[in-house]
Amino acid sequence: MANQVQYIFDQENLRKSAPQKFKSEDLKREEMIINIGPQHPSTHGVLRLEVLAKGEEVIEVVPHLGYLHRCFEKHAEKLPYNQIIPFVDRMDYLAAMNTEHAYAMGVERMLGIDKIIPKRVEYIRVLVAELNRLASHFIALGSYGMDIGAVTAFFWMTRDREHIVRLLEWASGARMLYNYIWVGGLFYDLPVGFEERCLEFTTYLKPKIKELERVVIDNKIFIDRTANVGVLPVDLAINYGITGPMLRGSGLKYDLRKVDGYSVYPEIDFDIPVGKGEAGTLGDCWDRTWVRVQECYESVKIIEQCLEKLTGEHKRTRDFDPRALAPKKIRPKAQDFYIRAENPKGETGFFFRADGRSDVPFRCKARGASFVNLSIINELSKGGLISDLIAVIGSIDIVLGEVDR
C-alpha cells in the first residue's frame, strides 16, 4: 500500500476532462474556437461556452455543463422527504423559497393534506416566495446591466435586494438557503413586527423600480444593446419547452400561478406582463428584461395583498402552530406524481416515485427552468456578434445550481 501510485500524469487529461465539439484541424478560413467560461463573469456561474466564430460573427455555440454538479437527485434517493428540503434550496439558490414551495406542495398532495393547510401558512408561503422572486429578479437585472455596461444598476439592485435578504433572514435565520417552508407547514411563524416592516419596504421600493426603469431600461445605450438581439419567436420557445419571463417575453401569457392556480394565488389580484416588441422585435433581449421589471411591480402588489390578509382575516393568534400538520414520518402511497410551480426563472417541477413502504423516495427528479431555458442559447446567438452573445446569456437569467443540480 505504501508504494501505491495515486496519480499518473497524462498529457491527454485536459482533453478528456474538457472535450471540445470542434477541432482546430476542421476550421475553415477565418474561423476560430473561443472558450467563454467557466471563469468568465458574464456566463453567470461556472458555465463554459464553446463558440465557433468567424471574426466577430457567431457560427455556433455549445454549452458545456457539469462544473457545479452536486448529485441532487442521488442525494434525494437516500434521504427522507422532509430532509431533502435543504438540498432543494441549493438548486436555484437565488430563489430558494420558490423551490421549497413547489417541493412542499408536491409532497403534501401525495399525502392528501394539501386542502387542509391553514390559510395563514399559505399566505406566508406566498409572501416569502414573492419576496424571493423580487430578490432573484434584482440579481438578474443588476448583473445584466453590468454585463452590458450599466454598472449603476447592479449597485442599486444589490442595495434593494439586501433589504429583502434581511427580512427573510429575520423570518428564517438564513440569508439565502432558508429551509423555511416545510411539508405540512412552516419552520416558524413570522416574527412580531414583520408585516409592518415589510409594508414599509414595499412603500420604499415602488419608486426605486420606477427609477430603474427610467434610468436603465429606457436608456438609449441599453436599448441599442438589447433591442432586436436574441429574438425568440413564440413557436420556437414552445418547441424548446421555454418557460417563465423568457416565454412571456415572446408574447405568450402563460404563468403557472394563473394556469394551475396553486396555493392562494387564485384569491390574489395580479396581472401577467408579456412582451410587446416596444423597443425592437417581439421576443428580443429587451422584451425579456422589460417583463422582469414589470413582474417586480406585480410581486409588490401580491406582497401587499398578502400583508393585508395576514394583518386582518388571518392575523396571528397565540394558539397558531405553523407545524401542526407537519408529519414526523412521511410515507405516501405508491404512486408517480409530478408537481410544478412558477419559479422566477420559469417552471420548476419535481417528479416523485413513491413505493408506498418507505419514507425515502424511490426517485425524485427535478426539472430546473434554467437548464431547459439554456438549451436555446445556440438558436438565439448564431448569426449575431460575440458581444451580442453576452447580452443573450444575461437575458436568459440562468443559475448554475439549477442547471447542473
Count other Cβ atoms within 10 Å, centred on residue 1.
3
Contacting residues for 193 by C-beta, under 8 A, at least 6 apart: none
What are 105's three cell numbers? 406542495
The three cell numbers of residue 197 are 416592516
Closest CA to 144 of 21, 292, 9, 15: 292
pTM: 0.92
What's the CA angle centered on 178, arms 124 and 346, to 5 degrees?
75
- How far apart CA 84 and CA 152 sit, in angstroms, is 38
Q: What 3-state DSSP class applies to 243?
A: coil
**How far is Cα of residue 205 from the mean position of the Cα atoms in its chain?**
21
How far is 227 from 395, CA to CA, in rounded Å?
Answer: 11
In the chain, % helix, strand, coil (3-state, to 5) comes to 50, 10, 40
pLDDT of residue 209: 92
**Residue 23: all three cell numbers together:** 477541432
Q: How far apart are the first and last CA of the chain?
A: 36
Q: Tell me the pLDDT tens digit for each residue of 228-285.
A: 998 999 999 999 999 999 999 999 999 999 999 989 999 999 999 999 888 888 989 9
Give the model's confidence band at 353: pLDDT under 50 very low, under 70 low, under 90 confident, else very high: very high
Q: In 3-state terms, what secondary structure has residue 186?
A: strand
- Which of 39-43, 118-122, 289-293, 381-385 bottoms out in mean pLDDT, i.e. has the lowest? 39-43
Residue 63: φ, ψ to 5°: -80, 135
pLDDT band at 168 (very low <50, low <70, confident <90, very high): very high
Strands 335-343 and 346-354: antiparallel
Residue 248 cell numbers, joined: 412571456
pLDDT tens column, 308-340: 999 988 888 888 889 888 888 999 999 999 999
**Domains and their CATH numbers in the chain:** 72-404 (1.10.645.10)
Q: What is the mean pLDDT of the chain?
A: 90
What SS3 state is found at 336? strand
